[in-house]
Every structure is written in C-alpha cells, then in structure tokens.
C-alpha cells in the first residue's frame, strides 16, 4: 500500500494488540508510523513494523519516522530516509502550467499542494527516484528522522533496518520532554488550599467534567507541620485533623486542580436536630499532552538492536533524546556535508 501525507502522520495507532504494519511505501511529514498509548494510558502490545519503505520530508517540525510506545514488539527490515530538500522541476519542459516546487521553502504550504494531483505526483516521484545515497544535502537536516523507542517500552527488537538522514539519532532510546508540557504551577493559591474547621478532613478527587473519581496522588500539608498526609486512591480522610489551612498538592503532572468545593453532608440526625460535616470535592482536569509525563523517565528494558545500517545522522547512530540547537536562521546557511556522520551498527 502507498500512503502520502504532506502535513501530518501517515499511520497512527493508539493502543491495541497484535497489529502488523508491513510492505508499505510511505511519504510523511511529522511521523510515518506513530504507535502511542490510548487516552487512558493503555499501552500497545505485540506491534510488528517490517518491510516498509519510508521517506520523510526534510522540513522544520518533521519528527522521527517511526515512534513506538509498546511492549513485546518488533521493528525490522524497514528503509527509513529523510528526503533532502531541493527544487522539483516541472514534470516535462512542455508543462508550462507547472511551477517548480522548492522543498526548502518553509513558507510553502505543502498541505495545499496535497489537493493538487499533479503536484502530489511530482513530490512522490521525487521521493521515490531521489534517494539520499545519491543526494547529499547542502544544508543541515531539519527533520529528526530515524526510529524512536519511547520510555516505558519493554521487550523490543530493532533489527536489519536501513536508516539514512536526519538531525537526530538513527535510533533514539527514550522520550523527549517538550518544555511546553512542563507544568508551570501558575494557579491561584486559594484553589489549592483547604480550611479545616472540624476534627477531620475527608473527600474525594473527581474530574470536573464527568465527576468520575480518579486515582491521583495527593499531599495535604500544614505550614506549621513537617509531616504531610498522602493519599493515592482517589478518596482521602485525615482523622483528628487540627483546625487551620492545609495546602493540597497534586503529584501527577498530567492533572491540575481546578477547584476545591466544600459540600455539606448530613452526619447524624434526630427528630429535632441534624448535624453536618464538610466533605471536600477536589475537582481536577486532565491536561492534554502527547506523552504521559509520569512515564518520561520510565525504564526501557530488554531492547535488542542488531544489524542495522545507520548513516548521515546529525547526532548519533544510537543515542538518547537531544534538543535540536539549529534554529531557522542558521538553517538558511550552507553547511559542509562533513557534518554528516556515518555509522554501521553490526
């Protein structure tokens, strides 16, 4: 099967089990194949990615060709290439209605070209007919390229792949932490505090939209006390709590506290009197992130990397996540091709 996208991901898999992706020709911008967890963090298992021919557009924002967050999975015998930019000439000298397509022009909206059948055919033909082996780029790569095994993967085999080109590693072990995903802590102080006027503090944590109880780790701390109270199962109760203010800290970076609502609950009653206690409902919202920050530093275990050929990478053949220090103004300059590094991993 042939797949082409000039503005996104060609194949996206969220969770799942026993999925095979094979014998495809793929041209993509962001990812060719992206295997990630589901919204409720269920990780994929038994993913087999093999015998695919992948070309990645060399443009700012281009990511790894294959991203894998799964267990018991295989990436084998794929050809992964970052397509060097350049000018694609008209298909024939007589095609006067066609204009050259400059793939180095970052102002060019390739998604608009995707609707033009003639332009799309020229770009795909260029990707298939102009491999990196015969076209060394004049400028540093802009797309990351390669394969990434994300933090939290177990029992992965990466074997006999041909990986050519990109500013990053040929095979990246671990997950990137986007600064935009780092919690800023910019919330109102009053939202994160409980004022206790009874002999205990109790309540639960719930999503603000659905009121579903969620299991997130919390810490309750008084300013004049060194001993915090911690709870992890979504419900909490602090018996014999002294009156005063307690700071509420949520330890899961994928959630933030939106509000704390005190609710009067009947505690005991007689025919003439009803007593109430205060139950605290901590309403949280889930932060939409591409990765689970709690898993960024998770271990990668039982990974086999063998007989891969890796060449023309900007960083390492096999390495850990690194930031791209090349900025767009620098990318407009020509750099010597000696910046490329060739490694063959046996």
Which residues make beta-bridge pairs with 222? 246
Give the rounded distance of the alpha carbon of 257 from its chain centre. 23
pLDDT tens for 76-123 read 999 999 987 666 666 665 555 667 776 666 677 766 776 677 777 777
Torsion over CA: 287, 289, 293, 295 (sign): positive
Q: By the 8 A CB rule, do 59 and 106 touch?
A: yes
CATH of 189-286, one of 3.30.70, 1.25.40, 2.60.40, 2.10.240: 2.60.40
Domain ranges in the chain are 2-180+292-345, 189-286
Which residues make beta-bridge pairs with 275? 268
Q: What is the pLDDT of residue 10?
A: 92
pLDDT-derived band at 12 (thresholds 50, 70, 90) equals very high
Q: What is the pLDDT of residue 252?
A: 79
Cα distances (Å, whole numbers) of residue 242 to 194, 195, 198, 222, 323: 12, 10, 8, 9, 48
Q: By the 8 A CB rule, do 324 and 73 touch?
A: no
pLDDT tens for 113-151 read 766 777 777 777 777 665 554 456 666 788 899 999 998
User: Helix or strand or coil: residue 121?
Assistant: helix
Q: Is 85 left (phi over 0), alpha (psi -120 to 50) or beta?
A: beta
Least confident of 18-27, 244-253, 315-324, 325-334: 325-334
In whole angstroms, give the CA distance from residue 335 to residue 340.
10
In whole angstroms, give the CA distance from residue 64 to residue 148.
7
Q: What is the mean pLDDT of residues 225-253?
A: 78
């Amino acid at each position: 099967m042939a797949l082409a996208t000039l503005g996104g991901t060609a194949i996206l898999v969220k969770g799942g089990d026993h999925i095979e992706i094979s014998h495809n020709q793929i041209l993509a911008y962001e990812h060719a194949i992206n295997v990630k967890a589901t919204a409720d963090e269920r990780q994929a298992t038994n993913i087999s990615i093999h015998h695919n021919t992948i070309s990645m557009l060399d443009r700012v924002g281009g990511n790894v060709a294959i991203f894998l967050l799964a267990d018991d999975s295989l990436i084998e015998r794929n050809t992964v290439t970052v397509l060097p930019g350049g000018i694609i000439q008209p298909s024939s000298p007589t095609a006067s209605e066609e204009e050259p397509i400059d793939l180095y022009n970052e102002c060019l909206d390739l998604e608009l070209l995707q609707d033009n059948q003639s332009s799309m055919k020229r770009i795909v033909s260029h990707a298939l007919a102009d491999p990196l082996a015969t076209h060394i780029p004049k400028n540093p790569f802009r797309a990351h390229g390669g394969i990434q095994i994300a933090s939290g993967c177990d029992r992965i085999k990466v074997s006999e792949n041909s990986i050519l080109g990109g500013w990053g590693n040929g095979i990246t072990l671990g997950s990137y932490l986007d600064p935009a995903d780092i919690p800023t802590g910019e919330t109102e102080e009053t939202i994160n505090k409980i004022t206790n006027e009874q002999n205990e503090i109790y309540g639960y944590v719930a999503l603000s939209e659905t009121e579903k109880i969620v299991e997130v780790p919390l810490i309750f701390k008084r300013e004049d006390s060194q001993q915090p109270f911690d709870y992890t199962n979504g419900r909490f109760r602090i018996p014999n709590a002294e009156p005063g203010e307690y700071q509420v800290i949520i330890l899961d970076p994928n959630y933030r506290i939106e509000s704390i609502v005190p609710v009067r609950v009947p505690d005991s009653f007689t025919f003439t009197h009803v007593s109430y206690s205060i139950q605290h409902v901590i309403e949280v919202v889930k932060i939409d992130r591409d990765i689970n920050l709690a898993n960024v530093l998770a271990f990668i275990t039982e990974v086999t990397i063998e007989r891969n050929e890796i060449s023309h990478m900007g960083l390492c053949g096999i390495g850990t996540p690194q930031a791209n220090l090349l900025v767009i103004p620098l990318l407009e300059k020509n750099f010597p091709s000696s910046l490329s590094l060739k490694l063959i991993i046996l």
